[in-house]
Structure 1
C-alpha cells in the first residue's frame, strides 16, 4: 500500500503533460536572442538553417534583413526565398512579409527575421510577431531573431539605461511560449570591434551608434538582461521536464502578484515593473482596476490611461480584472485574499498631507491593513513631474465657474434669510443656517463647490453676525473657537454630502445598466425564433453603446452570413469580412482597436456557446479614436454572453422540433412496417395456400372445393388490393398531390354506389339507408365520396361484423349531414379523435384491434380535401355502436340554377 501511494505521489504533473500534448499540432518557435544588434543572431540562424537544408528539411526564407552584411547575404544563397509583398505607404513602395504566401507554401520550417517589426497599415496584423503566431497555429515551425530591448516588460528599463526610447516591442509571452531560446552572445569589446570594422552598420551610422547606444556600459547592461532572461527561460524548461517525468524535487509554494492600476500617468510604469517582478519570480500576476467615484466618466483622459495600462498588462501576459467600490484599499485587499495573492504591486502615492491625514493614501493604507500580504511599492524614477499627477479629475472652466457661482448665490441667499430671521426673532446663533448652502452645493455640484461654500459661509457669518459686525474681526475667544468649529463641521458635512452624491450617481448609473440588462434579458426570454433574438441583440447594443451593431452567423456550409444589423448594413468590405472570419476561426476579437486588422471600422467579438463559436458580433463605435470605457466594455460583454445563450437556446429548440419530427417519422415507419408485415402476409398466405392446393390436388378435388378456393383467392386478392389502394391514397393526401374535382354530387348516387361495392366484398353485411327528400347537391368528387362511404362501411364490418349498418343523409341548416352508424362495441371517449390518426387501431372498449389503421385517416383526408368535416360519436344506439358524421356545405345556387 505504501509503495502504491509513493508511486501515486510521483506520477507526472497532469497540467505539464496536458501542455505537452497540446503543443503537438502547433508549430515550434525557436528564438535567437541577442543583447544588441550585430551580435550575429541572423548569421547563426541562417547557418543552422543551411544545415537543416542539407539534412533534407523543407526550409524557406520568409524574410531576412541582411543590412548589407556580406557574410549574411552569402548564407542566403541556395535557400528558397519567399517573394515579399509590396505595399504603397506614404508615397513610396515598401516590402513586407507575405503571410498569405507563407501559409499557401506551408513549409516545414520558415525563417522570419525582425520579430518586433511593425507592419504597414494594410497588413492583416499590425505586428510581425502576430504573423508568426498565425504560422505557428497553422503547424509551421518558425525561426526568428530578437534583441532583448524589444521585450515589452524591459522597454522602460532599456530606455533608462540607454536613453533611447524603444517603440517596437514584443509581449513577453512570445518568448515564454517559445520551444527553444538560443542566446547569441559576444563580449562588448568584440561587438564594438565589429562595429568599427563596418560589419554591423555603414561607417557614418556606426560612428553615431558608438556615441549613443553602443557604449561599453550600455552593452554590458543589455548583455546582463539577455543572460538573465535566457537563464529564466532555461529554468522554466527544466521545471517542465521534471514535472513531465515525475522527478522528485523541492516544490515551493508559488507566488501570485497583484498590480493596482489607476488613472495616474505612471500606470504603465507600474505595470511593467510588476511584469518584470512576476517574470523574475516565475509567478502569475493580475492587473486590478477598482472603479471609484465615477472618475472614468468625468475624465476621459484618465479612462484612456487606465485602458492603455490594462491593455499593456494583457500584452505582458497578465490577467485583467475590474471591480467597483468606494473603499479602494479594502476592495483591493478583499480581492487579493480571494485570489490568494502573496504580493501587491502599487505605485508610490503622491497624496498631500491632508490626504494622508484623512487616510486617502492607497500605499499607506495597503501597508497598514495588509498584515499577511507583502506590498511592493514602485518608485517612479524618471517619471513625469509631480505637477502632472492628479488624484481627482480637474473640472472644466465652465464647470468650475458654475460651481463657484452656485456657492456665491447660495451663501448670499442664506445671508439674506438670516438677516430677516435675526431682525424678527433675534436668535442668539444663526450659524446652523449656513450649513444649508454647504450641503446644497455638495449635493448639486460636488466637493469643490461645497468647499467654496464652506469658506464663504465662514467669512459671511463672521462679517454679518459676529460682533463687531461688518468687520473681519472677532472680539471674543469663544466666538473664534465657534467659527473654527463651524468651518470644520461645514467642510466635513460638505465632504460627506459630496460623497453621498457621488455614490448616488454611481448607483444610478449601475441601476440604469442593470435595468437595461433586465429589459434585454426579458426580450430575449420572450424571443422564440432566432431572428427575433438577433434583432433584439442588435437593437439593444446600438441603443446602449451608441454604436452600429452587426451579427453574423455561420450556417452548416461554414461561410459567415449577415443575419441582422442596426442600423442596416448590406455587406462588409474585404477587410471587415477577413476580420470577422478571423474572430470566428481564432475565437478572439479582431478588427478595430485589436491586434488583428485594427484599421477596419468594426470590432468583431466571437459568440461562444457550449457547442463552440457559432458566429460573431461586430461593433462600430460612435467615436472611432476613443476606446470603449470600462462600463461599455462590461455592458458589451454581458450583451454578447446573453445573446450567445439565447442563440444556443433557439438552436436547441429548432433541433428539438426536428428531433421530435424524426421521432414521429420513425414511429410512423415502425407502425407502417408492422402493419405491412401483418396485413400483407395474411392475404398472401391465404392466396399461396389456395394456389398450392389447386396445383397439388388438381382434378382430384371436388368442384365445390375448387370453387371455394378460387373464391378465397379472389377475396384475399381484393383485400390486398384495397390495402395497397389505401396506402396510395394516404401517400397522395400527405404529398398534396390529391386534387379532387369540384363538381355537383348527388349524395344518393354516391351512397348507392358505395353499398353496391360493399355488397360484393361483404355479402352478409346488411345496410339500411335513409336519405331525406329534396336533399340538395353538394360540391365535391363523387368517386372520392363513394370511397369515403365504402371505407366507413368497411370499418363498420371490421368492428361490428355482419350486424346492421345504417346510412342516413339529411340537411342541417347550411350543411348536408351524412352519418354511418354501426352496432359494434363502440369507441372509448378518449379515443374519439385519435381514431383518425394514421395506423391507430385502438379505441375499442374490449381492447381488440382490427384493420390497418388507415381507413379513417384516409376518410378525413378525402373529406377535408372536398371542403367538409368528419367526427366520431360513441355510443350511438342503445349505449353501443359508433356513428361517423360527415358535414358538407351546401353551395349557393345563382341565377339560372348554376351553383356558385
Structure 2
C-alpha cells in the first residue's frame, strides 16, 4: 500500500475523538508507599502554577512529612467536606466544591481511597472520573498494589490482602509517570522515619516492606508503565496511518491449519514464553470455496483451543488471499514474528504456485517468518477437487445448449444487423453458465463458443479454417476474455453463495441464542437445543441426555423415544466421562447409529448430545460441523448459567435463612434474658429482704415483676402469632366489628402503657362496621400505637378512622424522624428493626410483620407512608371493605 493510500485506523481515530472535551488524567505510579509519589506530584504542580496554570489542591495527604507540606504552601487548597461517621468527623474530598471551582488542573491524592458513607461515590476514582467528564485535568497518585488486575498477584507476593482497588481502565487513558527508587533507598527512608512513625516502620519492615516484596512490586510497576507507554505509541502510530510492525515488544502470530497444527502451537508457546511475549493463534478460512470437511474443522478447533489454554489470543479470519490476510492482520496487531508449519504442497504444486510460507516470506519484508520444526501447520493455499462425472456431463450439456441458443441469436443478428465483431455476443453464454452453474460449465461454454464462432461467423464459414491471421488472433483473445470472465463470474457466484450460507448460519445462531436467553429451566434449554440441531443438520434422530444421580437419562429426543441400546449407552457414557466424541465415525464404538458429543463447561460435562447422521456413508460437512459445535457450546454455556442461577438462588435462600436464624437467636437471647433478669432481681430482693423493705419498694418490685412478665408474655405471643400466620393456621372470625370501639379500646390501653405521651383520636361519626375479628383488630392497633410511641418520639400519635368510598380507612400517624423511602416496605419484614429516637434498637422486629399478616388475614391492606406531617413522621394506613346497610337499616 502506498503512502497516499494509507489511512488512519478508524478505531484509533474514534478513540481520539471520544476524548474531546474531557480532562486529562496523569497518574504518579509507585511500587509502594514512601517512594515519593505525592512529593513528585506537588513539585510538578508548583512548577505548573509558576508557569501560569490554574492549579488547585483538591486533597493531599502529607502524612506529617515536612518536605511535602512545604510544597503545598502557595497553592490554592479547596476546603474539605466534613462527614459524621461512627461518632467522629471525617475530612473528605468535596467533589461539589471542585466542580463549582472548575480549575484547569486539580490535584487529588490517593486514587484508591474509599469514601465515607453517604458520599456521592463510594470510591475516589469515581470522583476523579466525574472531574474528567467535566473537562478538568486531574493529577493523582497510586500504588501498584491497588491496580485491580494485580491485586491477587500482590496478595500472593506479600501475603497482604488488598481491599482498595482501582479498575485497570483508569490507567488506559492516563499519562503514567512512574516514581521509582531502589528498595534499599526506600528501606533507609523507612528507618529514618520519613514514611511511618518508628514503631509502625519497624512492623512494616518485618511484613510488607521486605527487600523481596519491594523488588517484586517495583518490577510490576515498571512493567505496567512500559505496557502503557507501548499502548500509547501504538495508538499514535495508528492515528498517523503508520503501518506496523513497531519495534516496541515482541508479539507472535502462529498460523493454524488442519494438519499438524498442535505441534506448531506448542512450539510457538515455548517461543513466546522464552521471549516473554504475547502471541496470537489465527486461522484463515478461504472464502468462495467449498467448506472444509468436518474432520478438518475439528482439528482446527482443537488447535485453537490448545492455543487458548496455553495463553494465546484467538482470531478467525476469512479471505481469498491467505497470505495477504495474514500479513494485514499481523500489521494491525503489531506482530513482529510469524510462526508457520511446513507446507503440505507437493512437487507439482511448488512448480506452479508458491507455498504459503514462501509467499508470506516474500511479502513480509518487515516481519520475521519462522518455520516450526514440527508439524505441517500452514494451511494449503488451494485444494482443487475434480467434479463428479455426472456433474461434468450436466455442465457440458448446459453449456452446449447455451452456445446453440447464442448461435441462433447471432445468425438472426447477422442477417438483420451485421456487426463487425460478432464474437462479443459469445460472452453471454459464458456469463450465464458461470453465474448459474459454476466454473466448469463456464469453461466449457468458452471453448464451445470459440469453435462455434469460428464455424458459423468467420470466413470461410461452416468450417474451422481461418482466412486471415488477425481473425484467428481475435478468436484467441475472445477465448481468453471469455474464460477470464467466466472464472470471475464463477468466483462471484461462489462467494455470494458462501456469504448467503454464513448469513443463514449467523441468523440461525442468533435465533437460537434468543431462545436460550428466554429459556428459564434446564429442560427448556435442552428442548430448544434438540429442535435447533435437528433443524440445522436435518438429522433423522437427535437425543439429549443429562446426568441424573451419576447415570445418563434421556432428557429430550426427536422423534420421541425412551431407550438406547447397550452400544449407544456405552458411547454416550464414554462422551460423558471422557469429554470426547464417541459413536459414529469416531474412534470409540464407531458402528452405533448416533454420534455423541459432550456439552463441556469449565466445571465439567453437563450433558451429552447424540445425532444420527442423515447419510451414514458421508461425514458431516465443515459447515455442519461448525454449526453443531456452535450450538452445543452455546447450550453448554446456557446450562451452566442456569445451574449457576439456581445455585445462587439456593445460596441466597440459605443465607436469608441463616440471617433470620441468627437474628432470631439474637432476639431471643436479648429479649428473653432482659425481662427474666429483671424478674429474677426483683424476686431475689423480695426474698432476701422481705419485711425489711418499705411497702412502697415492695409494691414497685411487684409492679416490675408484673410488667416484665407481661412483656415476656407479649414477646412469646408475637412469636406464636408469627408462627400461626406463616403456617396458614390463623383463621379470624368474620363478625361485624365496630371500628370506633376498637380504636378507643386500643388507645385506652396504650395510654396506660405510655401515660406521659399524647395519643389523639379522630373518628368519623357515621363510620360503618367491617367484617373481621375485633380482638385481632385491637391487637393490630395496639401494636401500631406501641410502635409509633417507641419510634415517633415525644410529639405524640394521632389515630384517624374515616370512610373513603367503599372502604374504611384507619391511619396511625407519628411526628418522628420518619422512614427512608427505601425502607417503607422493609419495615414490614420479619426481624427488621429501625432505630429508636434515642438511638437504641427496639423490639424484635416482629410487630409490623405480625400486623401485616393479621390485616391481610381479615381481608384488608396495610402500607406505610413517609413523610406524613410537615415533612416528618410516618403514617401507617389500613384499608378494610365497609359493610353496607341492608334495606330497613339492618346489617347484612
- What residue number does 2:848 align with? 856
Match in the other structure for 2:829:
837
List aligned pairs for 1:478-493, cutoff 5 A. 478-493=470-485
* 1:499 aligns to 2:491 (yes or no): yes
Shift of 1:478: 1.0
The aligned residue for residue 438 of structure 2 is 446
Is 2:821 the partner of 1:819? Answer: no
1:466 corresponds to: 458
Structure 1 pair 455–663 and aligned structure 2 pair: CA distance change class (3 A): same
CA shift, 1:837, in A, is: 2.5
Measured after TM superposition, the shift of residue 635 of structure 1 is 1.9
Q: How does 1:307-322 map to 2 (within 5 A)?
A: none
Corresponding position of 1:99: none
Which residue in 2 is equivalent to 1:552? 545
Change in Cα spacing, 1:348 to 1:522, as seen in structure 2 (3 Å) is: farther
Instruction: Report if the CA contact (8 A) 1:259-1:344 is conserved.
Output: no
Q: Say which of 573, 595, 613 aligns to 1:603.
A: 595
Contact 1:827/1:843, CA 8 A, preserved across alignment: no
Q: 1:891 to 1:626 in 2, by over 3 A?
A: farther
The 8 Å contact of residues 434 and 457 in structure 1, kept in 2 or not, is answered as yes
2-side partners of 1:484 and 1:340: how far apart?
A: 44
Query: How far did residue 705 of structure 1 move?
Result: 0.9
The 1:750–1:580 alpha-carbon spacing in structure 2 relative to 1, beyond 3 Å, is farther
Contact (CA 8 Å) 2:679, 2:708: kept in 1 or not? Answer: yes
CA distance in 2, matches of 1:604, 1:480: 62
Show the counterpart of 2:84: none
1:586 match: 578
Report the counterpart of residue 190 of structure 1 in structure 2.
none
Aligned Cα RMSD in Å? 4.6
| CA shift for structure 1 position 376 | 12
Q: How does 1:636-651 map to 2 (within 5 A)?
A: 636-651=628-643
Query: Which structure would you say has the larger Rg?
Result: 1
How far apart in 2 are the matches of 1:713 and 1:727?
A: 21
Residues 120-199 of structure 1 correspond to what in structure 2 (within 5 A)? none
1:245-644 matched pairs, under 5 angstroms = 294-295=289-290, 340=339, 343-344=342-343, 359=353, 392-395=385-388, 397=390, 399-423=391-415, 425-547=417-539, 548-555=541-548, 557-644=549-636
Contact (CA 8 Å) 1:807, 1:819: kept in 2 or not? yes
**Further displaced range: 425-434 or 851-860:** 425-434
- Asked if the contact 2:750/2:782 (under 8 Å) is kept, the reply is yes
Question: Structure 1 residues 361 and 714 mapped into 2: Cα distance closer, same or farther (>3 Å)?
Answer: closer
Moved more, 872-881 or 433-442: 872-881
The 3-state SS of whatever aligns with 1:884 is: strand
Secondary structure of 1:775's match?
Answer: coil
- In structure 2, how many angstroms separate the alpha carbons of the residues matched to 1:840 and 1:377? 68
CA distance in 2, matches of 1:748, 1:291: 87
Check the 8 A contact 2:764/2:801 in 1, yes or no: yes
Q: How many Å apart are 1:637 and its aligned residue?
A: 1.7
The CA distance in 2 between the partners of 1:796 and 1:722, in whole Å, is: 17
Rounded Cα–Cα distance in structure 1 between residues aligned with 2:773 and 2:375: 96
Whole-angstrom CA distance in 2 between matches of 1:663 and 1:631: 47
Instruction: Work out whether residues 525 and 639 of structure 2, in 8 Å CA contact, stay in contact via their aligned partners in 1.
Output: yes
SS in 1 for 2:551: coil
Q: Does 1:739 align with 2:731?
A: yes
Structure 2 distance, partners of 1:711, 1:260, is 92
8 Å CA contact retained: 1:292, 1:328: no
8 Å contact kept, 1:828–1:845: no
SS of the equivalent of 1:569 reads: coil
2:704 aligned residue? 712
Are the aligned partners of 2:399 and 2:441 in contact in 1 as well (CA < 8 Å)? yes
8 Å Cα contact 1:258/1:343 also seen in 2:
no
Query: What secondary structure does 2:672 align onto?
Result: helix
1:659 lines up with 2:651 in the alignment: yes
SS across alignment from 1:560: strand
Query: Is the Cα contact below 8 Å between 2:737 and 2:769 reproduced in 1?
Result: yes
Deviation at 1:789, TM superposition (A): 1.0
- Give the whole-Å Cα distance in 2 for the aligned partners of 1:308 and 1:528: 31
Count of aligned pairs between the two proteins: 593
Partners of 1:406 and 1:577 in 2: how far apart?
Answer: 50
Q: 1:668 aligns with which of 644, 660, 664?
A: 660
Given that 1:733 and 1:862 are in contact with CA atoms closer than 8 Å, whether structure 2 keeps it comes out as: yes
Give per-residue Cα distances to partners, 1:682-701, cap 9 Å, x unaligned.
Answer: 32232222112112211101
SS in structure 2 of the partner of residue 617 of structure 1 = strand
Quote the offset at 1:743 in angstroms: 3.9
> 1:645, 1:685 → 2: CA distance?
58
CA distance in 1, matches of 2:816, 2:543: 66
The equivalent of 2:771 in structure 1 is 779
- Identify the residue that residue 780 of structure 2 maps to in structure 1: 788
Deviation at 1:886, TM superposition (A): 0.6
After superposition, the Cα gap between the structure-2 partners of 1:442 and 1:791, relative to the gap in structure 1 and judged at 3 Å, is same
CA deviation map 1:26-57 (0-9, x unaligned): xxxxxxxxxxxxxxxxxxxxxxxxxxxxxxxx
- Uncovered stretches (5+) of structure 2, i.e. residues with no partner: 1-253, 268-280, 304-314, 331-335, 377-382
Alpha-carbon distance, 1:426 to partner: 3.9
Deviations 1:730-754 (A, max 9, x none): 2333343433344443324433443
Q: Which residue in 2 is equivalent to 1:721? A: 713
User: Quick one: structure 1 residues 811 and 702, their matched pair in 2 at CA, closer, same or farther if it must change by over 3 Å?
Assistant: same
Matches of 1:766 and 1:612, distance apart in 2: 67
Q: CA deviation at 1:757?
A: 4.2
Alpha-carbon offset, residue 411 of structure 1: 2.5
Determine the structure 1 residue equivalent to 2:18: none
Q: Secondary structure at the match of 1:596?
A: coil
Secondary structure class of the residue paired with 2:489: helix
SS in 1 for 2:877: strand
The corresponding residue for 2:676 is 684
Corresponding residue number in structure 2 for 1:889: 881
Conserved? CA contact 2:338–2:370, under 8 Å: no
Cα distance in 2 for residues equivalent to 1:826 and 1:778: 30
SS at match of 1:552: strand
Q: TM-score, structure 2 length as denominator?
A: 0.58
Asked whether the equivalents of residues 435 and 490 of structure 1 are also in contact (C-alpha less than 8 Å), the reply is yes
SS at match of 2:790: helix
Q: Retained in 1: the 8 A contact 2:529–2:635?
A: yes
Q: CA deviation at 1:864?
A: 1.8
3-state SS in 2 of match to 1:554: strand
Relative to structure 1, is the Cα distance of residues 786 and 307 closer, same or farther in structure 2, using a 3 angstrom cutoff? closer
How far did residue 322 of structure 1 move?
Answer: 12
- Go from structure 1 to structure 2 and tell me whether the alpha carbon gap of 1:361 and 1:715 turns closer, same or farther (over 3 Å shift): closer
Give the deviation of 1:544 after TM superposition: 0.7
Q: TM-score, normalised by structure 1?
A: 0.57
Q: Distance in 2 between matches of 1:752 and 1:308?
A: 82
Q: Which moved more, 1:618-627 or 1:605-614?
A: 618-627
Q: Partners in 2 of 1:631 and 1:600 — Cα distance?
A: 23
**In the TM superposition, what is the alpha-carbon distance from 1:826 to its structure 2 partner?**
4.1
Deviations 1:215-265 (A, max 9, x none): xxxxxxxxxxxxxxxxxxxxxxxxxxxxxxxxxxxxxxxxx999987xxxx
The answer to whether the 8 Å contact 1:823/1:881 transfers is yes
Q: Which of 666, 681, 695 matches 2:687?
A: 695
8 Å CA contact retained: 2:785, 2:797: yes
CA distance in 2, matches of 1:260, 1:851: 72
